[in-house]
Structure 1
Amino acid sequence: MQIGVSTPVVFQFPGSCSKWERDGEIEDLAEIAQAADELGFAYLTCAEHVAVPVEVAAQRGGTYWDPAVTLAYLAACTQRIKLATSVVVLGYHHPLALAKRYGTLDRISGGRLVLGVGVGSLPEEFDLLGADFANRGVRADDAMRALRAALSQREPVYSGTHYEFEGMLVEPHAVQARVPLWVGGRSLRSLRRACAFGDGWMPFGLSDSALGEMLAKVELPEGFEVVLPAGPLDPGGDPEGTTRRLVELREAGATGVTVTIAAESSAHYRDQLASLRQLADGMEANVR
């Protein structure tokens, strides 16, 4: 089971982020990314919101660093760890704009992109950007088909229900022959979308029982990733609880876990990463 890190500072969710993150500096972010890379964690994440209504921010958070810019910076700070959007909202972008922006990121990172995508859920943000909220699901399906046709191609060709392109040059493009596409969501439709067009599913806000019921209703493709959230975890202060939660998620069907880590400072966060690595390694050793 791979373990990725919900990058601190860049996304501050009420009730989950630590107090130190509110004043976190870019140097903190670089040091944490380097520590996660050196410790062998699977990926770092960054979410997307352009603008969140003030009244919504109290529940969803209001701090969202731009994922393309942020992950490009993290690419320069690291060597091996993958860089995952969690998630980009498909309705806010033309597929070729995503193919260019994140294909460039894949190239400068040496093929480390994981493109997490979602349909979006904030009507106010859709309205602000002139995007179609009512038909976001069907547009997202077509956008995913278009992305699959375009991400790794110099001269992509696609004709679908909402997007069509041919005779256009996209350079640079992704260096991976197949960029992993993970779909975010919490509905059975999002899982089916992920199985049909993607390589993985990143659900959120589901109980283990609800998750199991959904997974039982579909046939997962070979190599399909089920990436579940965990946290806030306190691997240094509560190693038993941390290990127990990771085991629970693996038994629930997770092939990957994105962890949020409780910490009192940037230095403490790095210590927590080291403790988590030891716990995860011990857990995997027991499985073998």
Structure 2
Amino acid sequence: MARVFPQGRLVYGMQLPIQSQSAIYAEPWEATATPHDLAEIARAAERAGFGYLASCDHVAIPRRLADGMSTVWYDPVATLAFLAAVTERVRLLSHVAIVALRHPLLGAKQYATLDHLSGGRLILGVGAGHVQEEFEALGVDFARRGPLLDETVDALRAALGPEEYPEHEGPSFAFKDLGQLPRPAQERIPVWVGGSSPAAVRRAAVRGDGWLPQGDPRGELPAQIAKIRRLREAAGNADPIEIGAITEPLYVGEPGWATGRRTLTGKPEALAESLREYRELGVDQIQVRFRSRDRAELVDQITAFGTEVAPHLNP
């Protein structure tokens, strides 16, 4: 078992701005933001009690998708290592790494080093990926990305374990008698599986220590969570799984500007009451995102959430 956070409490984390700038969620100010801005936001989140900071993963975006996805996708290992150096306690999550794009020994070398340097703060979030051209350019079979991810997770489990000379034998990868140091600081790296498709839900249930849904509305979460628990029990896995959710966009207080109709706004107590519903649905950790017009406003929102909303999440 590799549980990250205490059971029975609703933990909050965030995917950082700037490091990925999809048109779906990026704010205009992020286009000219700097590494200093990213570091200041990470420090503010740690001060505000956030459980984790997350970074996305794409290697290359084809022109046909660039308008919507943008081509701004920082490398997650480099980004999380940078954040590890400017923080002390907050967990570092890849949300999510497309690990099948890289040989598991290469991935293990990167993530073991990151965990070692950060003092054991890595959470390895993994996903199948969805951009066909990205797989083709890297010589990876897009049609087999599901089975490749399953085997890559198994191989990474072995390669990120305690053994200096890990072993794995599978249809796509095989290695033994190859040593890798340093080892991770954690005895077992937590693996959280991202995705809401039937295959991703099954993968989370069978192979994951946690589940990272991708935008499931609140009303759909109970059925998904129940399915994960059934599949996990059927697979003979008795370890608890940490269930996540991505909340609606948030703004603490009255914004005075158009934040979008889906954004939850208002007094801290009202926001906390709404977010507590996730815990009642069976969720262990929520990933929150704030609307903002510049870095200063985002830092203010992070701070207000930590001091005014978070104390009401676990009364």
Selected match of 1:8 from 4, 8, 17: 17
Q: Deviations over 1:116-144 (max 9, x none)?
A: 01111111111111111111111111111
Alpha-carbon distance in structure 2 between the residues aligned to 1:11 and 1:218: 29
Alignment of 1:101-116 (within 5 A): 101-116=110-125
CA drift of 1:13 comes to 2.4
Q: CA deviation at 1:244?
A: 4.7
Distance 2:186 2:132 in 1: 34
SS of corresponding position for 2:289: strand
Instruction: Check if 1:54 corresponds to 2:63.
Output: yes
Q: CA deviation at 1:59?
A: 2.8
**Which residues of 2 match residues 241-280 of structure 1 at below 5 A?**
242-277=271-306, 278-280=308-310
Q: How does 1:208-227 map to 2 (within 5 A)?
A: 208-219=218-229, 220=232, 221-227=238-244
Q: Counterparts in 2 of 1:1-288, with a 5 A limit?
A: 1-152=10-161, 153-219=163-229, 220=232, 221-237=238-254, 238-240=265-267, 242-277=271-306, 278-285=308-315
Task: Count residues with an aligned counterpart.
Answer: 285
Q: Give the Cα separation in 1 of the matches to 2:314 and 2:279.
A: 11
Alpha-carbon contact 1:186-1:204 (below 8 Å) kept = yes
**Contact persistence 1:16–1:232 (CA under 8 A):** no
Distance in 2 separating the partners of 1:265 and 1:242: 22
Q: Is the 8 A contact 1:183 1:201 kept in 2?
A: yes
Question: Where does structure 2 lack aligned partners over 5 or more consecutive residues?
Answer: 1-9, 233-237, 255-264
Cα shift at 1:24? 0.8
CA change 1:212–1:57 in 2 (3 A) is farther
TM-fit CA distance, 1:32: 1.0
TM-score (norm 2): 0.86
Q: SS of the counterpart of 2:288?
A: strand
> In the alignment, residue 110 of structure 1 is paired with which amino acid?
G
- Aligned-CA RMSD value: 1.6
Q: Which runs of 5+ in 1 are unaligned?
A: none
Looking at structure 1, the residues matched to 171 and 24 of structure 2 have their Cα atoms a distance apart, in angstroms, of 41
Whether contact under 8 Å (2:116, 2:182) holds in the other structure is: yes
User: Cα 1:121–1:245, aligned 2, differ >3 Å: closer, same or farther?
Assistant: farther
SS of match in other structure, 2:154? helix
In 2, the alpha carbon distance for the partners of 1:3 and 1:254 equals 11
Q: Counterparts of 1:79 and 1:2 in 2: how far apart (Å)? A: 18
Does the residue aligned with 1:182 lie in a helix, a strand or coil?
Answer: strand
- Percent identity at matched positions? 38
Cα distance in 2, alignment partners of residues 227 and 283 from structure 1? 15
For the residues of structure 2 that align with 1:270 and 1:236, how far apart are their CA atoms?
14
* TM norm structure 1: 0.94
Q: Distance in 2 between matches of 1:106 and 1:62?
A: 27
Farther off after superposition, 102-111 or 7-16? 7-16
- Distance of 1:24 and 1:231 partners within structure 2: 24
